[in-house]
Amino acid sequence: MKKKDNILIIKHGALGDLIQADGIIKSIRLEHKNAKLVLLTSKKFINLMAMCPSIDYQLIDNRSSFFNILSLINLYKKIKQCNFKIIYDLQNSQRTYIYRKLLFNKIKWISTNRKDHEVSGLRGLEEMLKENLVNNKNVLKPNVSWLSIDIKNQIKKNEILSKYIVLLPGSSKKNPTKRWPYFSDLEKILIINGFEVVTILGPDELEIEQNFSAHILKNLSWPQLAGVINNSFFIIGNDSGPSHIASCLNKKGLALFGPSTSATRSELKRGKFQILKVDDLKNLTANEVLEVMKKMLNKK
């Protein structure tokens, strides 16, 4: 029996980028149907990506300082012993460029060569596959339904009605300007308008828990988070990883953008999931978001 080729995919994060990479990973899986597909990623995403059906195995990259020679040697040994035939670099960072030049310059390495695509990083990866004769038709069609689990018991336990709206008030703690400040106001208005509301808070958002009065779900696992989103009626969030999960589940929803990040480059808009871009998030009222939501719900 012929031994399987080992193929390495590098994608450290962030969460939204990793979720969006589902279509790319699926394309690579189809290109190498009989190979063993290994993902090199950050430790915090190991449990999440363990559910991905396209990935066979994972390696952890702690991304230690380059002055930490021992860590670099250990990483080199881990990758070297796998005898990879091809490395797909979906991170395309300065770090992975150094890996390529100093550690693995004899392995076929597919990347964008750090070229910044005029539209988005995702489109750059789409071109990368095309240039290397890999079918790229799935790149812009990520589908992370594999991440979602059945959460009906949890919904019942929290006495949440079946038709509910999810609010995602968090985003990266490193970039607080991405956060729309009026989610608690929106919650109140939604309740007045007869909607069932579920607010999801991660570890970085627990300090705002007291601002909300309806259903609050805290510190969910990745599959639970995806399950709650997948079972929802509508989602409203910031430019965040959970919003990317909603987008890649093809849910009807809305991501709110201010001037700090590019709505276009985020590639969050797809299918039923839309983007509301404003010049200043502080000037966007809860009533304005409600009206946009109502218009989306009225569309067939």
Residue 1 within a domain: no
pLDDT for residue 203: 86
Q: Would you state the pLDDT for residue 1? A: 42
Percentage helix, strand, coil, to 5, in the chain? 40, 15, 40
- Rounded alpha-carbon distances, angstroms, from residue 290 to 52, 74, 190, 262, 284: 35, 52, 8, 23, 11
- By residue range, what is the domain housing residue 53? 6-141
Mean pLDDT of 267-277: 96
Collect all residues with Cβ–Cβ distance below 8 Å to 107 and sequence separation of at least 6.
Answer: 84, 85, 86, 87
Residue 173 in this model has a pLDDT that exceeds 70: yes
Contact 238, 215 (CB under 8 A): no
Q: Looking at residue 300, what is its pLDDT?
A: 58
**Residue 66: which CATH number?**
3.40.50.2000
pLDDT digits (tens, 9 = 90+) for 117-141: 999 999 999 999 999 999 988 999 9
Instruction: Check the CA dihedral 104-108-110-116 and report its sign.
Output: positive
Dihedral, 224, 54, 91, 68 alpha carbons, nearest 10: 80
pLDDT band at 2 (very low <50, low <70, confident <90, very high): low
Same structural domain, 294 and 151:
yes
Mean pLDDT across the stretch 265-290? 96
Q: With 80 as the cut, is the pLDDT of residue 227 above it?
A: yes
Shared domain check, 173 and 134: no
Q: Are 188 and 64 members of one domain?
A: no
Same domain, 44 and 72: yes
Side chain identity, residue 187 = E
* Model pLDDT, residue 103: 86
Residues 13 and 94 in one domain: yes
Q: Tell me, yes or no, whether 25 lies in a domain.
A: yes
**How many domains does the chain divide into?**
2
SS3 category, 109:
strand
Residues 175 and 251 in one domain: yes
Last residue of a domain, one of 109, 141, 173: 141
What is the arrangement of strands in the sheet containing 164-168, beginning at the earlier edge strand?
A: 215-218, 196-201, 164-168, 234-237, 253-257, 273-277
Question: What is the rounded distance in angstroms from the CA atom of residue 268 to the CA atom of residue 239?
Answer: 8
Is residue 45 a part of any domain in this protein?
yes
**pLDDT beyond 70 at 160:** yes
CA atoms within 13 A on the CB side of 32: 23
Q: Are 220 and 187 contained in the same domain?
A: yes
Q: Is the model's pLDDT at 41 over the cut of 90?
A: yes
pLDDT of residue 217: 95
Lowest mean pLDDT among 36-40, 115-119, 238-242: 115-119
Three-class secondary structure of residue 100 per DSSP: helix
Q: 111 and 96 in contact (C-beta within 8 Å)?
A: yes
The reply to whether 80 and 211 lie within a common domain is no
Give me the mean pLDDT over the 145-153 stretch: 94
CA–CA dist 260, 175 (Å, integer): 9
Token match 């149907």: residue?
33
> d(Cα 71, Cα 75) in Å, to the nearest integer?
6
- Same domain, yes or no, for 294 and 152? yes
Quick one: which of 202, 200, 203 has its CA closest to 166?
Answer: 200
Mean predicted confidence (pLDDT) in 159-173:
90
Say which amino acid occupies 103.
Answer: L
Same domain, yes or no: 129 and 266: no
List Cβ neighbours of 22 (8 Å cut-off, separation of 6 or more).
52, 54, 142, 143, 144, 248
- Tell whether 179 is covered by a domain: yes
Distance separating alpha carbons of residues 91 and 111, to the nearest angstrom: 8
The residue from 141, 169, 200 where one domain ends is 141
Nearest by Cα to 236 from 249, 258, 253: 253
What is the average pLDDT score of the chain? 93
Do 159 and 195 sit in the same domain of this protein?
yes
